[in-house]
Amino acid sequence: MQSSKLIIPTLKETPADAEIISHQLLLRAGFIKKQAQGIYTYLPLGWKVMKKISDIVRIEMNKRDAQEIMMPIIQPAELWQESGRWHVYGKELMRLTDRHENDFCLGPTHEEVVTDVIRSFVNSYKQLPVNLYQIQNKYRDERRPRFGLIRSREFLMKDGYSFDRDEAGLDKSYQAMYEAYSAIFTRCGLSYRAVEADSGAIGGSNTHEFMVLADSGEAAIVFCEHCDYSANIEKAKMDLSYQDHEPMDVLEKVLTPNQKTIVDVSTYLQRDPKKSIKALLYKARYEDRQEIIVAFVRGDREGNEIKIQNSLGALSIDMDIDEQEILDLGIHRGYIGPIKLAKVKIVLDEEIMRLRNLVCGANEDDHHYINVNYDRDFQCDLIADIKEVREGDLCPICRSPLSSARGTEVGQVFKLGTKYSQSMHATFLDENGKAQPLVMGCYGIGISRTMQACVEQNHDERGMIWPVSIAPFEVVILPAVHKNIEQMNMARDLYHEMQEMGIDILLDDTPERTGVKFANSELIGYPIRITVGKLIEQGKVEITIRKSMETTEVSIAEVSEKVKELLGTI
């Protein structure tokens, strides 16, 4: 391809509404154009990268006997009513009505449709297992689209679904997809981690998220450098073998005037914050009711709201609590403790049980207890893991200190079980002629998000740096002086030669000044640049590696072979 025939609208200035570097670079390099909030056109270079990612996905999926299909974007409400999600999904689901007043939605995901497809055509255990996938636009009316393609309302996604006769079959399908995903993200040149994750409202037993590591990532993860353990912060566990062994001292109520925070109280009483109990007040909402609960964690820790919510089995929790409600329950903000707190439900972090002689609020103003011990001084309704694990806590597997990082979720593998097959009556007959619900797994990859995550991870002050596997072009050939006939002809010759060799190459034949062409090639980030300039008088051209910006002179006779070789090694 010749760049004079492509629309590559690069910008010198950074668009004002792009917050993170990858979003800015995609806009500046002319990969995408925003059409509405969270809705983008993929311009030629951007779409080319997306196609390369999609092709890698297809190869790895097909290798594992997954079959590509194409389901409709527009889905009938009936299917969603059948699964129950028409009413559960909320405003995120884009709904529309046709001229006959029939309800439809734009698919945010395709469990309903794929389940309907399978139940129509799969009736026997002999047809199993089956794995179907598609690569298609998805729609979620996000409350707050942001970061360009990272959180958009329309996005390209590979979604796949496996159907097995039992859990053992699902385990195999899941494992195959896990391996496919690892292969895909490796081939895309990404630094990623597969982390254990919370399964969320969808239910299901097991799930891993594939996280591309990036400081701008929306998710926090912890991982172990010494073993394979890694988990989303919402799910992360830590080693709990630590145990205080000091003798229990006498419980005592002490005066702590105006000392409300952990830091204040600890300083005032001259105690380590780790030897205190922090209280977190929440309103938990259930399907039929709501209640105030108090969660207790070690003084220097934070609670994790997802864990707290899961431990309660609540639909949601928040801190939106009326002060009067607190007073009615006899709760004194700043002085909350687990002793004699009869009117509210208590959730205690399991770590507290292992600690001795703690400080906690006395449930009356200006007073705390010291030397508090679990069981001797108080009990509670619920003991669970509700703390936020952090860097330095010990790995639950090998007890090495954990590391932490931020990541962008680009893929997820999920054991769905029979949630949809049961509600939608997708069954097969087993050897005994008995109807059984299909056991499902679902597997997603955000293609558009992966493209941006790659930029977020691979860039420098000059612009993007693409891995060869998904670069918009593998090589750009750049005649230094546009009007120099010899240079241009030589560039064209080399361009044709390398094209014939199967190299994905772009000829920059635009009548720009040299500096502009250099700057644009670095902004766009082609892995290799060949500069055809003055050196052709000596029978040479220059090869520049984008990543290192290392330039070498190569004789014209050898350049194509050299490029071929480099593409395999960088």
Partner RNA sequence: CGGGGCAUAGCGCAGUUUGGUAGCGCACCUGGUUUGGGACCAGGGGGUCGGGGGUUCGAAUCCCUCUGCCCCGACCA
Which tokens hold the place of 437?
């619900």
Q: Which of 462, 492, 547, 562 binds RNA (CB under 7 A)?
A: 462
Is the CB of 190 or the CB of 360 nearer to RNA?
190
Which tokens hold the place of 28?
């500046």
Length in residues, the chain: 570
Q: Which residue type is seen at 103?
A: D
Q: Which of 143, 245, 289, 434 binds RNA (CB under 7 A)?
A: 143
Is the CB of 345 or the CB of 419 nearer to RNA?
419
Torsion of CA 145, 146, 152, 156, to 10 degrees: -160
Contacts of RNA in 163-202 (CB under 7 A): 200-202
In 441-513, where does DSSP find H-type helix? 447-457, 485-500
Is the CB of 17 or the CB of 364 nearer to RNA?
17
Is the CB of 177 or the CB of 360 nearer to RNA?
177
Q: Which of the stretches 6-14, 353-361, 369-377, 450-458 binds RNA when contact is defined by CB under 7 A?
A: 6-14
Q: Which residue has the tokens 């002629």?
A: 433
As a whole number of angstroms, the longest Cα–Cα distance in the chain is 94
Can residue 87 be called a binding residue for RNA (CB under 7 A)?
A: no
Give the interface size with RNA as a residue count (CB under 7 A). 55
Is the CB of 351 or the CB of 522 nearer to RNA?
522
Tell me how far apart the alpha carbons of residues 224 and 208 are, in angstroms, rounded to a whole number. Answer: 16
Can residue 250 be called a binding residue for RNA (CB under 7 A)?
A: no
* Cβ at position 366, least distance to RNA in Å: 30
User: What string of DSSP letters covers 289-333?
Assistant: -EEEEEEEEETT--B-HHHHHHHHT-SEEE----HHHHHHTT--T
Contact 332, 344 (CB under 8 A): no
The answer to whether the bond into 76 is cis (omega within 30° of 0) is no
* Cβ at position 177, least distance to RNA in Å: 11
* Cβ at position 143, least distance to RNA in Å: 4
* Cβ at position 514, least distance to RNA in Å: 3
- Angle separating helix axes 447-457 and 21-28, nearest 10 degrees: 100
Contacts of RNA in 347-406 (CB under 7 A): none
Is 464 strand, coil or helix? strand
Contacts of RNA in 472-491 (CB under 7 A): 480-483
Is the CB of 242 or the CB of 286 nearer to RNA?
286
* Cβ at position 519, least distance to RNA in Å: 3
* Cβ at position 155, least distance to RNA in Å: 11
Tell me how far apart the alpha carbons of residues 133 and 161 are, in angstroms, rounded to a whole number. Answer: 6
Q: Which of 26, 32, 57, 56 is nearest to 44 (CA)?
A: 32
Contacts of RNA in 102-141 (CB under 7 A): 108-109
Is the CB of 109 or the CB of 230 nearer to RNA?
109
Contact 412, 219 (CB under 8 A): no
Can residue 321 be called a binding residue for RNA (CB under 7 A)?
A: no
Can residue 146 be called a binding residue for RNA (CB under 7 A)?
A: yes
Which tokens hold the place of 376?
């001797």
* Cβ at position 521, least distance to RNA in Å: 8
Q: Which residue has the tokens 């010990």?
A: 394
Q: Which of 6, 10, 103, 167 binds RNA (CB under 7 A)?
A: 10
Give 237's strand partners.
none
Can residue 513 be called a binding residue for RNA (CB under 7 A)?
A: yes
Q: Which of the stretches 31-39, 118-126, 172-180, 284-292 binds RNA when contact is defined by CB under 7 A?
A: 31-39
Q: Which of the stretches 120-128, 451-459, 520-528, 558-566 binds RNA when contact is defined by CB under 7 A?
A: 520-528
Residues 6 or more apart whose CB falls under 8 angstroms from that of 182 comprise 194, 210
Q: Between 89 and 108, how does the x/- string for binding to RNA read (CB under 7 A)?
A: -------------------x
Q: Between 278 and 317, how does the x/- string for binding to RNA read (CB under 7 A)?
A: ---------------------------x----------xx
Is 428 strand, coil or helix? strand
Tell me how far apart the alpha carbons of residues 152 and 142 are, in angstroms, rounded to a whole number. Answer: 7
Tell me how far apart the alpha carbons of residues 178 and 413 are, in angstroms, rounded to a whole number. Answer: 7
Q: Which of the stretches 34-42, 252-260, 491-499, 558-566 binds RNA when contact is defined by CB under 7 A?
A: 34-42
* Cβ at position 127, least distance to RNA in Å: 24
Q: Which of the stretches 127-135, 144-152, 246-254, 343-351 binds RNA when contact is defined by CB under 7 A?
A: 144-152
440 vs 34, 118, 163, 235, 481, CA distance in Å? 36, 11, 5, 22, 60
Is the CB of 26 or the CB of 359 nearer to RNA?
26
Q: Which of the stretches 96-104, 389-397, 525-533, 554-562 binds RNA when contact is defined by CB under 7 A?
A: 525-533
Contacts of RNA in 440-459 (CB under 7 A): 442, 444
Torsion of CA 137, 141, 143, 145, to 10 degrees: 30
Is the CB of 294 or the CB of 413 nearer to RNA?
413
Tell me how far apart the alpha carbons of residues 568 and 312 are, in angstroms, rounded to a whole number. Answer: 53
Which tokens hold the place of 356?
């001795």
Contact 392, 402 (CB under 8 A): yes
Tell me how far apart the alpha carbons of residues 473 and 467 are, in angstroms, rounded to a whole number. Answer: 10
Q: Which residue has the tokens 């979720």?
A: 409
Is the CB of 99 or the CB of 144 nearer to RNA?
144
Which tokens hold the place of 428?
């097969």
Can residue 461 be called a binding residue for RNA (CB under 7 A)?
A: no
Is the CB of 69 or the CB of 380 nearer to RNA?
69
Q: Which of the stretches 370-378, 427-435, 468-476, 528-536 binds RNA when contact is defined by CB under 7 A?
A: 528-536
Which residue ranges make up the site for RNA (CB under 7 A)? 10-17, 19, 36-38, 108-109, 142-147, 151, 159, 200-202, 218, 305, 316-318, 412, 414, 442, 444, 462, 480-483, 513-516, 518-520, 522-523, 531-535, 542, 544
